[in-house]
């Protein structure tokens, strides 16, 4: 029901002209008093009715407008009061407008959510800095990097104060171009980061002025250092026998020229050193070949039980009284598998067991079919090789590093006993290529067990 004051005012506007006409007619006595008063009454009632009708329609329209502005669906309620045809048209147009506005704002919401999801899930840490250089936002990778629950704080403050980064941010803002810089963060763990400061012009909707994209280069730097170390180690390993060879050649040319007995002895040592260099080069070449093919899985299948027996027989001359006991079914297939590479695995592990086991001791080699699961084993059917010796075992702290190139538990012992220090690195790469798993177990004083899980049936 429209307010009374408004109703009367509207009725007055509607009825003013006909009422005035009636009044003039009455005053000029053109019509009888009675009919004039009746006509004026009729006009007043009509005006009141029209005003009511008009105001109710207008109220309805303004409700529709408010609903559209407030993004509210209440407007689709059925119309109870009769409508003026023009008002009905406008109302329908308004309903359509409200719907399309709603659809558009839903679309904008979805687009924003998509943008946020992209930024949030980017693998690289990303920060948004405000005008005052404080962090407005940090995506998930950044929060992980800086150990944040949400928002900013913690190590992030230290990062933002880093002179290299703040310099890059200032340059980016001054020059309005992206600026990169390398950072070294010593705490809490040493990290090498590359930061890229990208100015936002115009500023982002949330007031962000600079986006900082970080990439953690620690891993890459570690790989670079490892490569450099590898070259240094390889050269060092080759230089030792080479120096010894050169030394003996000098001696044989000079002081020992006429000493037949010494010559014989020196030539023996030279042959050993030459053999050692050959072994090293063979292992280096084989390692680089395996590394090259590591990303493509092998093809074919291998009867590992048969291979194990063959390798054990081939190593007998090296065993010096140690017995190799084999517990394996007549045949057990690994697939996909590369026979030559698996032979290399068996040779290396058996050789190590023989070399580090007791003299006249016992090396046990077993081969079993596993259906999947089990501690530290993949949840697929496969075969499990285990080679155990009765040697001194390996102290726990060395176990994770055994597969590094040239890593030896006792620097002197390995070299003295003729290993290259590359055997387990080769084993590891071959097992990786076969999508298998290498597990090393040892209790000091109780020998060591090397297990290899391979896919098979």
Ligand X SMILES: Nc1ncnc2c1ncn2[C@@H]1O[C@H](COP(=O)(O)OP(=O)(O)O)[C@@H](O)[C@H]1O
Question: End-to-end alpha-carbon separation of the chain, Å?
Answer: 85
Q: Which of residues 423 and 436 has its CB atom nearest to Mg ion in the complex? A: 423
Which among Mg ion, ligand X, none contacts residue 421 (Cβ within 5 to 8 A by kind)? ligand X
Angstrom distances, CA of residue 145 to CA of 156, 169, 216, 406: 9, 20, 9, 33
Q: What are residue 129's DSSP bridge partners?
A: 135, 210
| C-alpha span between 348 and 342 (Å, rounded) | 10
Name which position in 357, 382, 393, 423 contacts Mg ion (CB under 5 A). 423
Question: In the window 144-173, what residues touch Mg ion (CB under 5 A)?
Answer: none
- Whose CB is nearest to ligand X? 419
- Judged by CB under 5 A, the chain residues 261 through 290 that form the site for Mg ion are none
- Give least dist CB 375 to ligand X, A: 21
CB nearer to ligand X: give 353 or 386.
353
Comparison of 139 and 352: residue with beta carbon closer to Mg ion: 352
Q: For residues 353 and 440, is the Cβ–Cβ distance under 8 A?
A: no
Part of the chain binding Mg ion (CB under 5 A), chosen from 303-311, 323-331, 375-383, 423-431: 423-431
302 binds, options ligand X, Mg ion, none, Cβ within 5 to 8 A by partner type: none
State the number of binding residues for Mg ion (CB under 5 A): 3
The whole-angstrom separation of Cα 142 and Cα 122 is 10
Helices in 294-392 by DSSP H: which ranges? Answer: 304-314, 316-319, 339-356
Using the minimum distance from each CB to ligand X, give the nearer residue, 159 or 394.
Answer: 394
414 contacts which partner out of Mg ion, ligand X, none, CB within 5 to 8 A by kind?
ligand X
Asked whether the beta carbons of 71 and 105 are under 8 A apart, the reply is yes
At its nearest, how many Å lie between ligand X and the CB of residue 432?
15
Residue 240 Cβ vs ligand X, minimum distance, rounded to whole Å? 14
Is the Cβ of residue 250 or residue 294 nearer to ligand X in the bound state?
A: 294
Pick the closer one to ligand X by CB: 40 or 422: 422
Nearer to ligand X, 167 or 400 (CB): 400
Number of H helices, E strands in the chain: 13, 12
The set of residues, in sequence order, having a beta carbon less than 8 Å from that of 141 and lying 6+ positions away, is 122, 123, 124, 125, 126
The first and second tokens of residue 369, run together, are 């079919």
Alpha helix positions (H), 134-188: 140-145, 155-161, 163-175
Is the Cβ of residue 64 or residue 324 nearer to ligand X in the bound state?
A: 324
> How far is CA 276 from its chain centroid?
43
Q: Which is nearer to ligand X, 57 or 352 (CB)?
A: 352
Q: Which of 137, 139, 198, 134 minimizes the C-alpha distance to 160?
A: 134
Q: Report, in Å, the least distance between residue 421 CB and ligand X.
A: 4
266's contact among Mg ion, ligand X, none, with CB below 5 to 8 A by partner kind, is none
User: What is the footprint of Mg ion within residues 362-421 (CB under 5 A)?
Assistant: 419
Min CB(355)–Mg ion separation in Å: 7
Q: State the Cα–Cα distance between residues 386 and 364, nearest whole angstrom.
A: 8
Residues 285, 280: Cα–Cα separation, whole Å: 9
Coil, helix or strand at residue 342: helix
Q: How far apart, in whole angstroms, are the C-alpha atoms of residue 342 and residue 454? A: 10
Q: Is the dihedral of CA 331, 375, 365, 308 positive or negative?
A: positive
Least CB distance to ligand X at residue 344 (A): 11
Interface residue with Mg ion, options 302, 322, 344, 352 (CB under 5 A): 352
Q: Name the minimum Å distance from CB 148 to Mg ion.
A: 46
- The secondary element (H helix, E strand) that includes residue 212 is strand 210-216
3-state SS, residue 362? strand
| Residue 352 beta carbon to ligand X: minimum distance, rounded to whole angstroms | 3
Smallest distance from the beta carbon of 352 to Mg ion, in angstroms? 4
Q: Interface with ligand X by CB under 6 A: which residues?
A: 348, 352-353, 356, 389, 391, 394, 402, 407-409, 414, 419-425, 448
Binding residues (CB under 5 A) for Mg ion: these are 352, 419, 423
């Amino acid at each position: 029901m429209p307010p009374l004051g408004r109703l009367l005012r509207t009725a007055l506007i509607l009825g003013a002209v006909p009422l005035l006409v009636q009044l003039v007619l009455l005053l000029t006595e053109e019509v009888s008093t009675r009919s004039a008063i009746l006509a004026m009454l009729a006009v007043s009632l009509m005006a009141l009715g029209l005003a009511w009708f008009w105001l109710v329609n207008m109220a309805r329209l303004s409700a529709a407008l408010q609903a559209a502005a407030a993004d509210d669906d209440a407007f689709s309620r059925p119309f109870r009061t009769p409508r003026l045809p023009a008002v009905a048209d406008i109302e329908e147009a308004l309903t359509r407008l409200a719907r399309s506005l709603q659809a558009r704002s839903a679309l904008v919401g979805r687009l924003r959510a998509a943008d946020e999801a992209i930024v949030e899930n980017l693998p690289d840490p990303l920060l948004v800095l405000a005008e005052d250089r404080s962090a407005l936002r940090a995506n998930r990778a950044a929060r992980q990097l800086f150990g944040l629950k949400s928002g900013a704080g913690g190590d992030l403050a230290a990062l933002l104060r880093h002179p290299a980064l703040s310099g890059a941010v200032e340059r980016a803002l001054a020059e309005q171009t992206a600026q990169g810089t390398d950072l070294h963060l010593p705490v809490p763990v040493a990290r090498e980061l590359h930061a890229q400061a990208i100015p936002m012009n115009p500023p982002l909707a949330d007031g962000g002025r600079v986006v900082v994209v970080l990439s953690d280069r620690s891993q890459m730097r570690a790989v670079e250092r490892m490569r450099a170390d590898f070259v240094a180690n390889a050269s060092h390993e080759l230089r030792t026998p080479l120096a010894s060879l050169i030394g003996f050649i000098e001696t044989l040319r000079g002081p020992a020229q006429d000493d037949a007995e010494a010559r014989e002895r020196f030539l023996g040592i030279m042959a050993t050193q030459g053999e050692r260099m050959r072994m090293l080069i063979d292992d280096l070449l084989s390692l680089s070949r395996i590394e090259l093919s590591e990303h493509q899985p092998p093809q074919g299948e291998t009867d590992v039980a048969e291979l194990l027996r063959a390798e054990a027989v081939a190593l007998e001359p090296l065993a010096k009284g140690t017995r190799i006991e084999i517990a394996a079914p007549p045949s057990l297939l690994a697939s996909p598998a590369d026979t030559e590479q698996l032979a290399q695995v068996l040779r290396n592990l058996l050789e190590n067991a023989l070399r580090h086991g007791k003299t006249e001791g016992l090396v046990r080699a077993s081969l079993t079919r596993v259906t999947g699961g089990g501690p530290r084993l993949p949840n697929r059917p496969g075969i499990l090789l285990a080679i155990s010796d009765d040697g001194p075992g390996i102290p726990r702290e060395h176990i994770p590093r055994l597969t590094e190139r040239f890593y030896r538990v006792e620097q002197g012992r390995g070299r003295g006993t003729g290993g290259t220090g590359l055997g387990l690195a080769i084993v590891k790469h071959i097992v990786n290529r076969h999508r298998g798993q290498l597990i090393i177990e040892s209790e000091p004083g109780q020998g060591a067990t090397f297990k290899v899980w391979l896919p098979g049936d």
